[in-house]
Amino acid sequence: MNRKTSHSLTAWLPAVVLLTALLACNITQAVPPATQVSGQNELPTAVSAPNNTATSEPTQPEITVTPTTAPIVHTLMPGELPASFLSEITDRDSSTTATQRRVIGGENFTMDLYERPFNANTMDTYFPDLDITRTRLLRDSQWVYVNIKLVGQNPAGGLLGDYGVEVDLNVDGRGDVLVMAAKPGATWSTDGVRVWEDSNHDVGAAHPIQSDAPVNGDGYETLVFDQGVGTDPDAAWARISPTDPNSVQIAFKRGVIDDDGNFTWGAWAMNESMLNPAWFDYNDHFTIAEAGSPLSELTQYYPLKAFAEVDNTCRWGVGFTPTGSEPGVCPVPPTPTPVVPGTISGVVFNDWTNGDLVLDGASGRIAGATVRARSGGCGSPGGVVTTANTNGSGVYTLSVNAGTYCVDVSPDPIGYSYKTDPQTVTVTNGGSKNNINFGYSQYLGMQ
């Protein structure tokens, strides 16, 4: 089964017990949540008219169930996370500006990037447990793990949000699988863990990642795993990290994403009222005018409104190194230009009594002269960068990095009446400047 082309995970979940089975496994059923949202600092080119249905009660995907008394039996549980990670994403820490009721980055609503760990309207409550600072994806022979590091605990204590990972299997900007865990506990559990799939490929609407609001699609419309209910009752788990009380760990079997080895992914943290899989992408469901903005400089949208208490990350690759052209990926730093030393070369010569300081066949060569390069131009040279001595033919070569230098001979190797002045030389990366010659002329008598 290859969801890159067929996305056939809907066949993965037959009709299964929900209420009775959950009670038999002593798992508490969560009430289907509502939804809220956040964004980064670019103004949209246009703002659509408000979507009047944006804040209505969410319609959640459901599993068709057949009543049964069979208990949910777990046979395989995740272990400890691998020592090394495959992919890492860092995210803005908004605690530094929380008292100012604003963020200073990490928000681009028009491009599906949100930094909104605040309450709506007043933004006077900051939620450290909804503020992602770093997330890592790891993998072993059976499981894919995601570790989501939060700034801290909820003001009421603990990690009380919904946390998850969105996977784009064919790297087209449309998420394909959404795994979310509500209020994880101290040990691995399927309680509160759900997996959705977008079987009809409408996540992202007409333009994936970019805002198309207002659009009323059905987003992740297929719930394929619900707290142990599904073809595989062990498909997805979550817990709070045993070594860090501010980190959530999610584990799902590799088969949940068809054991795909090349995809992009990103992490989410949100209040349960904002989790509505049908509303993905959120910037297609809400206009920025409805959602508001945490960026105080966007005065026409600030503060947060209908879409609040949400944080997500940009996406990064697994199995390949992103180039920056992939929809939704984090900014890719430019490839640094390799530093290749350049050269300055020439001849130090004695022009005898000729006096024109032009190197020609009659000029004598001065061996053992010291040629130096000082930083900057000769109008105001800096310190000595490098020196070189002339060989028996009076030839020298200076090796320098790209830049501008003042080149001269010091000390003077012979007595003179006239000499070539210091020369300003600019060298490009790996380039060379030749024939930077220095002549000396000695007049022995009257002209």
Strand 384-389 vs strand 370-375: parallel, antiparallel, or unpaired? antiparallel
Which of 14 and 3 is assigned the larger pLDDT? 3
Q: What pLDDT score was predicted for residue 251?
A: 98
Q: What pLDDT score was predicted for residue 55?
A: 40
Model confidence band, residue 16 (pLDDT cutoffs 50, 70, 90): very low
Model confidence band, residue 337 (pLDDT cutoffs 50, 70, 90): confident
Residue whose tokens read 């204590």:
157
| Number of continuous H segments (helices) and E segments (strands) in the chain | 3, 23
3 state SS of 398: strand
Q: What pLDDT score was predicted for residue 57?
A: 43
Q: What pLDDT score was predicted for residue 444?
A: 61
Model confidence band, residue 334 (pLDDT cutoffs 50, 70, 90): confident
Q: What pLDDT score was predicted for residue 314?
A: 98
Q: Are 238 and 193 in contact (CB under 8 A)?
A: yes
Please provide the average confidence, as pLDDT, over all residues in the chain: 86
3 state SS of 24: helix
Strand 342-350 vs strand 364-365: parallel, antiparallel, or unpaired? antiparallel
Q: What pLDDT score was predicted for residue 18?
A: 33
pLDDT tens readout for residues 352-365? 767 789 999 889 99
Q: What pLDDT score was predicted for residue 58?
A: 42
Q: What pLDDT score was predicted for residue 355?
A: 79
Q: What pLDDT score was predicted for residue 445?
A: 53
Lowest mean pLDDT among 20-34, 213-227, 302-316: 20-34
Residue whose tokens read 């002209």:
447
3 state SS of 384: strand
Euclidean distance between CA atoms 441 and 439, whole angstroms: 7
pLDDT tens readout for residues 76-132? 999 999 999 999 999 999 999 999 999 999 999 999 999 999 999 999 999 999 999
Assign residue 55 a region: left if phi > 0, alpha if psi is -120 to 50, beta otherwise?
alpha
Residue 139 in this model has a pLDDT that exceeds 60: yes
Integer angstrom CA distances of residue 275 from 4, 37, 340: 25, 9, 52
Q: Are 169 and 176 in contact (CB under 8 A)?
A: yes
pLDDT tens readout for residues 150-165? 999 999 999 999 999 9
Model confidence band, residue 63 (pLDDT cutoffs 50, 70, 90): very low
Q: What pLDDT score was predicted for residue 216?
A: 86
**% of the chain residues with pLDDT over 70:** 83
Average pLDDT over residues 241-253: 98
Average pLDDT over residues 52-68: 43
pLDDT tens readout for residues 211-244? 999 998 899 999 999 999 999 999 999 999 999 9
Q: What pLDDT score was predicted for residue 288?
A: 97
Residue 199 in this model has a pLDDT that exceeds 60: yes
Average pLDDT over residues 325-340: 91
Q: What pLDDT score was predicted for residue 4?
A: 57
Q: Are 236 and 179 in contact (CB under 8 A)?
A: yes
